[in-house]
Amino acid sequence: MECRPGCGACCIAPAITQPFHGMPAGKPAGVRCVHLQADLRCALFGRPERPDCCERFQAEPAFCGESREEALLILAELEAESLPA
């Protein structure tokens, strides 16, 4: 699956718990990454500063659904399910 233009759900829904370029405390779930541009594309795409977890993420129907709204819901649900008990 190709990444959906104008989505950015993977840059909003999940938390990033490790410090990374521009976000020394990481990123809480549901908070827009500081590197997500107005066109909803990552400013760090293809750069060495991009977090490893972002580099490994692959757009798939199971994560991205049929729309940006569905992707945000799916990824938020997965984030909540992965929290420690």
**26-54: per-residue pLDDT in tens?**
999 999 999 999 999 999 999 999 999 99
Residues 6+ apart with CB under 8 A from 14: 29, 53, 75, 78, 79
Residues 6+ apart with CB under 8 A from 58: 1
* pLDDT confidence of residue 85: 78
Is the confidence at residue 71, as pLDDT, over 90? yes
Judge whether 65 and 71 are in contact, CB under 8 Å: yes
Judge whether 26 and 18 are in contact, CB under 8 Å: yes
pTM for the predicted model, two decimal places: 0.90
Tell me what the mean pLDDT of segment 6-11 comes to. 96
